[in-house]
Chains A and B, each alone.
Chain A
Amino acid sequence: MPFESAWRLKEEMISGDLDPVEHAAHVLERIRRWEGSVHAYLSLRREDEILGDTGRAVERLRSGKARPLEGLLVAVKDNIMTLDLPTTAASKMLKGFKPGYEATVVERLRAAGAIITGKTNMDEFAMGSTTELSAYGPTRNPVDLERVPGGSSGGSAAVLAYGGADLALGSDTGGSIRLPASFTGTVGLKPTYGAVSRYGLIPYANSLEQIGPMGRSVRDVALLFSVIAGWDPRDATTLRRTGWVDPENLAPLDPHSLRICTPEELLEGTDASVAKRFDSLLGELEESGAVVEEVRIPVLREALPAYYTIAMAEAASNLARYDGSLYPCRPSTRPRSWEELVERTRTECFGSEVKRRILMGVYVLSEGYRDQFYLAATRIRRLIRNAMMAATRRCIVASPTGPVPAPRLGERIGDPLKLYALDVQTVTANLAGIPSLSQPMGRVMGLPVGVQWMGPSMGEETLLRLGLLVEEVLGYGRG
């Protein structure tokens, strides 16, 4: 990692070796240097405000009243509501949208002393896997500017990769945190469904998505997760559980107690070079005492179509509200009736991928097709959940995070099926509601690639401890 981990920065700030204001100034300088070419932020707070906040953090750090994220700079994905900055989900539909309420996770960030830098780019309404489908232009991968950073939380991942924030929030509906982590050499966690409040997250597919932490090291992700996780009375789907992880006392897993399962269905279609890197990582873990077992879970072959069917159905429903009455985007000419307003607003203000998914979602929910598509998908989902619950009781389920390293811009978005195929490994965890951690496992053709670990429901701590072990084995995360 070219930049220090948030955990190290935090330690240095507490010990007094690092001046938070000086640090913030460095981050702001990188933002100025990189944003022109990367375009990871959709909106940024004013520099003097960020520096002002950092100054106040200095006082708290000096007086020993530092909170868990005191003085750290955090970027927030643009589908998460913030009071001070607009929240647009990278859609023209919500240009400048500031509805005056804040996501629970953002409240928790502020209460923990975090300083928010800005809002990060994404695929419109989180529908995409490359961050090329933003209404405000694509984000490029700082590792290689000709390539995509992955999506839909590509802006957050890119910011971490070029040092434009210390930590970031993403959201993961079918891999939207993990794929960008894989493509940019960063770490991301898709939490157990219900671990993190979705209050204030602009919904794409409610039953699948979670807000999750992104960072440059496993302990960074543990730190941010410990702040945002926990029951929220404003989200009926959050779990009533406390004490998710203690980042301070998180030790690497003992490899001798580690059992890894690799379902062959999750390796089909993976680039040989990526599969090779994955195999060699598993070999290294085996050498240090872990047991690795190849397994078959045939129903996982159905995961991608089941995932897209459910996601599109929920999307069609969630996006019905954008009808030109309560939201900023209006048709270019004055409509003559309410019906025309709805039609023209939706035609003009949504991007084409969003419209594609709405139409398909309406189709799979329609009378006469619902059984064949939507209900069939929910049945497959149940089978996948059962299979994954059973598997993760015995072992950590592993696969490469994505089938390939970061593609070039334009390479995938021309063909929706090729685009959707990028999520083939990641959607399983969302369908099953189980946690999944993606972390770097090395480079292929000079590009970072990630490995993803899936654990039992509420098994975040085990995954993060495994992550620490892998960092040790690979010599990462020391920075």
Chain B
Amino acid sequence: MVGVKIGLEIHVQLTEAGSKLFCGCRSNYRGLPPNTNVCPVCLGLPGALPVPQPGPVEAAIAASMALGCRLPWAIVFTRKHYFYPDLPKNYQITEYEGAHGAPVCLGAVFHYLDPGSWEWRSVRIRRINLEEDPGRSQYGDGGIMASPVVMVDYNRSGVPLLEVVTEPDLRGPRDARSMVEYLLLTLEYIGATNPRLEGAFRVDANVSVGGGERVEIKNIGSTLEVERALRYEILRQTKIIEAGGKVERETRHWDSTRGVTRPLRHKEAEEEYLYFPDPDLPPLPITGKLKERARSRITLLPGEVYKTITGHGVGREVAWSITQHPPLARLYLTASEHVADKKTLARLLGVDLKGALKDLGRTPSEPETLPPPETVITLVKLVEEGELPYDAVRGLVLPKLAQNPKTPIESLIPEKAKVTDSLIEAVLMEERKALCDLLRGKKKALNYLVGAVIRRVGKAAVDPRAIRGMIEKKAREIERLCLEAESS
């Protein structure tokens, strides 16, 4: 794929910002009955006025900082006009460069890890806009042009949205996917979004092959689809070029069910958005105080985490496996301060606990799926000290912990087998030959007897050293059994 150029426009909802952008309604509307997460402001009713809410504003500035952006002096909102059934004011409050507007990010070089090659790559971010999401509409037969009914749910209307626009720096579908995943992860780390929520982000992609016209693909709903859609589109354009044709500049729609891009049925008319600064929203200066509050949201970033874990001597795959889940990463970092064997810790969290959760259809991205650090620290220490074989942790402990992360540590560790004096005595009585060999100084016999005791207990979690001592002591007590046997 020589000469492939890809630029992305990624719309990410700030689902974790707490409120909508300009009113107190919730930023995460999922699971609510239609039109129950609304108020006069987000319904766009006349006289209701937008007031920038601290949660979304701080999250947006934090995002801009975390991605390495140049910040503007103020957040300036602009009205962008277009008539659409799910847009209650028939204009969207967004940001715009020009007409006295400014986006929340004036440009950045964003570094991301490509877990295919384990290389760090970079992409130029042209700008990031903070804007309001529209509502959602449903049509009957004939779609927007002919349907006799339109049903609109305004629960989403006004939810804060970041529009991240990159330069056409991405070189392939896999690269584009890695970039989107790393971007979403960064925003998840700063508590701005939960990318796993349905509809939390959408991607539009611009693709050109061999210096030809660029084609825009709209409406890609997952990172996997980003890769699929781009693969398809590059193949389509390559075929046209190979057949001696010319790629037309157009906008296409990604049909994920059929796995193809298709031209949009209606050519968009010359875009005329009548931009002008929203008079209800005076420029909101990005003061030192505001920056401070935004910065306090950036406690951890995926790059730091990944580098710390690999710095502990943990392999890249396992380190990345942990980094991909902010709660798991935080758990690792807390626990790693208290244990020496970081590799075991990493394996426990990044491979086996994650695997056990996956078996249950859970993900370590949700903090409530994870055990408290104390539990993890204790387990790793038990392994370090040889009290507990790692296999027992993996096979017996982690599945229980995945079921219920709050399980107390005592009920997790396999019970120490009750190796009592009488049990030892019973075994020795049975294994009289080995006993006598032992008393005659044969070391091998001792190992055999330890094995016999363990077999009897039937548990993995016994301490062989302790059993050894008990056997030696008991053997001397019942020495006469051998003497009797020899004399008889």
Tell me the A residues contacting B by CB distance below 8 Å.
Answer: 80-81, 87, 89, 94, 99, 101, 103, 198-203, 205-207, 233-237, 313-314, 316-318, 320-321, 323, 325-326, 336-339, 342, 362, 365-367, 370, 374-375, 378
Interface segment among B38-46, B320-328, B368-376, B439-447: the answer is B38-46
Q: Smallest distance from the beta carbon of A335 to chain B beta carbons, Å?
A: 9
Interface residues of B in 334-357 (CB under 8 A from A): none
B100 neighbours in A (Cβ, 8 Å)? 378
B83 neighbours in A (Cβ, 8 Å)? 320, 323, 339, 342
Kindly list 5 other residue pairs between chains A and B, CB separation below 8 angstroms, not including A200-B48, A317-B276, A320-B91: A236-B50, A237-B279, A321-B88, A336-B146, A337-B147
Interface residues of B in 281-339 (CB under 8 A from A): 281-282
Question: Given A320-B89, A323-B90, is A236 in contact with B279 using a C-beta cutoff of 8 Å?
Answer: no
Residue B274 is within 8 A (CB to CB) of chain A in the complex: yes
Question: Given A321-B90, A325-B152, is A366 in contact with B47 using a C-beta cutoff of 8 Å?
Answer: no
CB of B49 within 8 A of CB of A198, answer yes
Within 8 Å by CB of B276, from A89, A199, A365, lies A365
Residue B381 is within 8 A (CB to CB) of chain A in the complex: no
Residue of A nearest to B144 (CB): A338
Question: Given A199-B48, A233-B51, A326-B43, is A339 in contact with B91 using a C-beta cutoff of 8 Å?
Answer: no
CB of A99 within 8 A of CB of B88, answer no
CB of B85 within 8 A of CB of A236, answer no
A99 neighbours in B (Cβ, 8 Å)? 40, 45
Residue of A nearest to B47 (CB): A200
How many Å lie between the Cα of A317 and that of B279 in the bound state? 11
CB of A338 within 8 A of CB of B85, answer yes
B99 neighbours in A (Cβ, 8 Å)? 370, 375
Q: Which 7 A-B pairs have the closest CB atoms?
A: A207-B279, A320-B90, A206-B279, A365-B274, A202-B46, A200-B47, A321-B89
CB of A326 within 8 A of CB of B45, answer yes
Residue B268 is within 8 A (CB to CB) of chain A in the complex: no
CB of A236 within 8 A of CB of B49, answer yes
Residue of A nearest to B39 (CB): A101
Most A C-beta atoms less than 10 A away, residue of B43, B50, B52, B89: B89
CB of A366 within 8 A of CB of B49, answer no
CB of B51 within 8 A of CB of A314, answer no
Question: Given A317-B274, A321-B89, A338-B150, is A236 in contact with B45 using a C-beta cutoff of 8 Å?
Answer: no
Return the CB mask of B179-192 against A: 1 if under 8 Å, else 0: 00000000000000
How many Å lie between the Cα of A362 and that of B272 in the bound state? 10
How many Å lie between the Cα of A378 and that of B51 in the bound state? 23
7 pairs across A/B with beta carbons < 8 Å? A81-B47, A198-B49, A236-B52, A317-B79, A325-B152, A337-B147, A337-B148
B52 neighbours in A (Cβ, 8 Å)? 236
Q: Is the interface of A mostly helix, strand, loop or mixed?
A: loop
CB of A325 within 8 A of CB of B85, answer yes
How many Å lie between the Cα of A199 and that of B22 in the bound state? 13
Question: Given A101-B40, A342-B83, A370-B99, is A336 in contact with B148 using a C-beta cutoff of 8 Å?
Answer: yes
Residue of A nearest to B52 (CB): A236
How many Å lie between the Cα of A342 and that of B48 in the bound state? 22
CB of B88 within 8 A of CB of A235, answer no
How many Å lie between the Cα of A336 and that of B144 in the bound state? 11
CB of A202 within 8 A of CB of B272, answer no
CB of B49 within 8 A of CB of A234, answer yes
Q: Smallest distance from the beta carbon of A105 to chain B beta carbons, Å?
A: 11
Question: Given A326-B43, A337-B147, is A317 in contact with B280 using a C-beta cutoff of 8 Å?
Answer: no
Count, chain B residues at interface, CB 8 A: 37
Most B C-beta atoms less than 10 A away, residue of A89, A200, A317, A370: A317
How many Å lie between the Cα of A317 and that of B79 in the bound state? 8
CB of B276 within 8 A of CB of A374, answer yes
Question: Given A325-B152, A338-B147, is A366 in contact with B272 using a C-beta cutoff of 8 Å?
Answer: yes
CB of A199 within 8 A of CB of B50, answer no
Question: Given A314-B279, A365-B274, is A339 in contact with B88 using a C-beta cutoff of 8 Å?
Answer: no
Residue B485 is within 8 A (CB to CB) of chain A in the complex: no
Question: Given A313-B276, A366-B274, A374-B276, is A203 in contact with B145 using a C-beta cutoff of 8 Å?
Answer: no
Q: Smallest distance from the beta carbon of B410 to chain A beta carbons, Å?
A: 52
Residue of A nearest to B149 (CB): A338
Residue B81 is within 8 A (CB to CB) of chain A in the complex: yes
How many Å lie between the Cα of A145 and that of B51 in the bound state? 44
How many Å lie between the Cα of A199 and that of B50 in the bound state? 10
A201 neighbours in B (Cβ, 8 Å)? 47
Tell me the B residues contacting A by CB distance below 8 Å.
Answer: 40, 43-52, 79, 81, 83, 85, 88-91, 99-100, 142, 144-148, 150, 152, 272, 274-276, 279-282
Residue of A nearest to B145 (CB): A337
Q: Smallest distance from the beta carbon of B76 to chain A beta carbons, Å?
A: 13
Q: Smallest distance from the beta carbon of A459 to chain B beta carbons, Å?
A: 21
Q: Smallest distance from the beta carbon of B397 to chain A beta carbons, Å?
A: 53
A321 neighbours in B (Cβ, 8 Å)? 44, 46, 88-90
Question: Given A320-B91, A336-B148, A374-B276, is A101 in contact with B51 using a C-beta cutoff of 8 Å?
Answer: no
Residue of B nearest to A378 (CB): B100
Residue of B nearest to A371 (CB): B99
How many Å lie between the Cα of A325 and that of B270 in the bound state? 26
Residue of A nearest to B41 (CB): A234
Q: Smallest distance from the beta carbon of B3 to chain A beta carbons, Å?
A: 33
A375 neighbours in B (Cβ, 8 Å)? 99
B272 neighbours in A (Cβ, 8 Å)? 366-367
How many Å lie between the Cα of A314 and that of B281 in the bound state? 13
Most B C-beta atoms less than 10 A away, residue of A94, A200, A338, A362: A338
A237 neighbours in B (Cβ, 8 Å)? 49, 279-280, 282
A362 neighbours in B (Cβ, 8 Å)? 274
Q: Smallest distance from the beta carbon of B40 to chain A beta carbons, Å?
A: 5
How many Å lie between the Cα of A94 and that of B146 in the bound state? 27
Question: Given A99-B40, A323-B90, A337-B147, is A235 in contact with B49 using a C-beta cutoff of 8 Å?
Answer: yes
How many Å lie between the Cα of A338 and that of B152 in the bound state? 12
Residue of B nearest to A209 (CB): B279
B46 neighbours in A (Cβ, 8 Å)? 89, 94, 202-203, 318, 321
Q: Smallest distance from the beta carbon of A273 to chain B beta carbons, Å?
A: 38
Q: Smallest distance from the beta carbon of B284 to chain A beta carbons, Å?
A: 8
Within 8 Å by CB of B48, from A101, A323, A339, lies A101
Within 8 Å by CB of A317, from B50, B81, B282, lies B81
B147 neighbours in A (Cβ, 8 Å)? 337-338
How many Å lie between the Cα of A321 and that of B44 in the bound state? 8
How many Å lie between the Cα of A87 and that of B46 in the bound state? 10
Q: Smallest distance from the beta carbon of B85 to chain A beta carbons, Å?
A: 5
Within 8 Å by CB of A326, from B88, B145, B282, lies B88
How many Å lie between the Cα of A370 and that of B99 in the bound state? 9
Within 8 Å by CB of A236, from B40, B44, B51, B81, lies B51
CB of B45 within 8 A of CB of A101, answer yes
Q: Smallest distance from the beta carbon of B256 to chain A beta carbons, Å?
A: 26
How many Å lie between the Cα of A317 and that of B82 in the bound state? 10
Q: Smallest distance from the beta carbon of A424 to chain B beta carbons, Å?
A: 23
How many Å lie between the Cα of A80 and that of B100 in the bound state? 30
B144 neighbours in A (Cβ, 8 Å)? 337-339
How many Å lie between the Cα of A60 and that of B234 in the bound state? 79
A320 neighbours in B (Cβ, 8 Å)? 81, 83, 89-91
How many Å lie between the Cα of A389 and that of B298 in the bound state? 43
CB of A202 within 8 A of CB of B85, answer no
How many Å lie between the Cα of A362 and that of B90 in the bound state? 13
Q: Smallest distance from the beta carbon of B161 to chain A beta carbons, Å?
A: 20
How many Å lie between the Cα of A406 and that of B365 in the bound state? 71
Q: Smallest distance from the beta carbon of B405 to chain A beta carbons, Å?
A: 41
B90 neighbours in A (Cβ, 8 Å)? 320-321, 323
How many Å lie between the Cα of A206 and that of B93 in the bound state? 15
Question: Given A202-B47, A236-B281, A317-B274, is A339 in contact with B145 using a C-beta cutoff of 8 Å?
Answer: yes
Most B C-beta atoms less than 10 A away, residue of A80, A337, A375: A337
Q: Smallest distance from the beta carbon of B92 to chain A beta carbons, Å?
A: 11
How many Å lie between the Cα of A331 and that of B276 in the bound state? 30
Residue of B nearest to A207 (CB): B279
Q: Smallest distance from the beta carbon of B138 to chain A beta carbons, Å?
A: 12
